[in-house]
Amino acid sequence: MKEKKVSKKAVSLADLQNKKASGDKITMLTAYDYSMARVIDEAGLDIVLVGDSLGMVALGYGSTVPVTMEEMIHHCRAVRRGVNRALLIGDMPYLSYQVSKKEAVRNAGLFLKKAGCHGVKLEGGSVMAPTIEKIVKAGISVMGHIGLTPQTATALGGYRVQGRDLESARKLLEDARAVVDAGAFSLVLECIPSALAKIITGMVPIPTIGIGAGPHCDGQVLVTNDLLGLFEKFTPSFVKRYANLAPQIKEALDDFIDEVKRGVFPGPEHSFGGGEELLEELEAENK
């Protein structure tokens, strides 16, 4: 594959807005540690999201709900060290912004102050609009998120497509307008019909980022562990696996175990030579 040139210029909010205007698609992936963040950043992704999905793919929780602010800040700080050019967004975990606007602003600020993020993402439409507005007025960039909102999926009837009927579709249009009016710089659309995502994308002046929302959004996001085939517990139907690394990793581990047990590894090429004279002297001293 031909090596592509990746601009070293830092991605700005203006760049994302320009991409929407020009039709140049925005790319976003998740990262939870330094090594993966560095690879993603060097690949040329526009946005790196430290998603609360880390609760499931990195910490082994059954959902995103148990994730704490401390865990998010810890992982954001690690990712920050690997990101030099992409826009870095921290996902606000459950109950870090729902209790009060004052607490929401304080917690959002920690993503910038302690972890070096460029902005935060939070779930919710019209109900959360006043909170988004308060955070934005504090000088913190906010990415909205409507449709399927995993933190409150139970209240939505589980992990299923949203906006299939006229009433719920109208509600999502209302949510989108509210998030825009509150000052968000972009909007994630999760698990909604492609046709509805197209309407919202054409209606709002800010970039939309789709996940399970079809091809008409201004950009796309996936959980990196899903994209690479590293998370085997389940794979959402909207995910495309661009690699299937888990079986390859298991095969490599099996080979390691086998070679260690057979004495094949480490071989001469993995060992340090020399020291024979020193060894003879030590043997003589210990006779």
| Domain, as residue range, for 257 | 248-285
In this structure, the answer to whether residues 239 and 253 fall within a common structural domain is no
In this structure, the answer to whether residues 146 and 260 fall within a common structural domain is no
In this structure, the answer to whether residues 229 and 265 fall within a common structural domain is no
190 in catalytic set: yes
Residue at which a domain ends, from 225, 243, 261: 243
In this structure, the answer to whether residues 254 and 162 fall within a common structural domain is no
Residue 3 lies inside a defined structural domain of this protein:
no
Residue 1's pLDDT is what? 56
In this structure, the answer to whether residues 94 and 211 fall within a common structural domain is yes
Residue 156's pLDDT is what? 65
Exposure string (b/e) for 156-182, b if CB count within 10 Å is 16 or more? eeeeebbbeeeebbebbbebbbbbbeb
Distance CA 249, CA 231 (A): 12
Q: How many domains does the chain have?
A: 2
In this structure, the answer to whether residues 258 and 236 fall within a common structural domain is no
> Quick one: tokens of 145?
């998120």
First to last CA, the chain: 61
If DSSP codes are grouped into helix, strand and coil, which group holds residue 158? coil
Beta strands in the chain, from DSSP E residues, in sequence order: 26-30, 47-50, 87-91, 119-121, 141-147, 186-190, 208-211, 219-222
Distance CA 283, CA 287 (A): 6
> Which of 42, 167, 190, 259 is the catalytic position?
190
In this structure, the answer to whether residues 162 and 139 fall within a common structural domain is yes
Question: Taking the complete model, does pTM exceed 0.85, yes or no?
Answer: yes
Distance CA 186, CA 200 (A): 12
Residue 6 lies inside a defined structural domain of this protein:
no
In this structure, the answer to whether residues 265 and 190 fall within a common structural domain is no
Residue 8 lies inside a defined structural domain of this protein:
no
CB 162 within 8 A of CB 172: yes
In this structure, the answer to whether residues 91 and 210 fall within a common structural domain is yes
Residue 5 lies inside a defined structural domain of this protein:
no
Residue 2's pLDDT is what? 59
- What string of H, E and C letters represents the secondary structure of 122-141? CCECHHHHHHHHHHHHCCCE
In this structure, the answer to whether residues 123 and 172 fall within a common structural domain is yes
Report mean pLDDT in 10-residue bins for the chain, 287 residues.
80 98 98 98 98 96 95 98 98 98 98 98 98 98 96 75 96 98 98 98 98 98 96 86 96 97 95 79 79
In this structure, the answer to whether residues 140 and 208 fall within a common structural domain is yes
Residue 189 lies inside a defined structural domain of this protein:
yes
Residue 272's pLDDT is what? 86
Residue 26 lies inside a defined structural domain of this protein:
yes
Location of structure tokens 């139970």 = 154
Residue 285's pLDDT is what? 82
Query: Residue 124 is part of a domain; what is its CATH number?
Result: 3.20.20.60
Beta strands in 57-207, from DSSP E residues, in sequence order: 87-91, 119-121, 141-147, 186-190
In this structure, the answer to whether residues 154 and 217 fall within a common structural domain is yes
> Quick one: tokens of 251?
């095969």
If DSSP codes are grouped into helix, strand and coil, which group holds residue 184? coil
- By the 10 Å C-beta count (0-12 exposed, 13-18 middle, 19+ buried), 59 is classed as middle
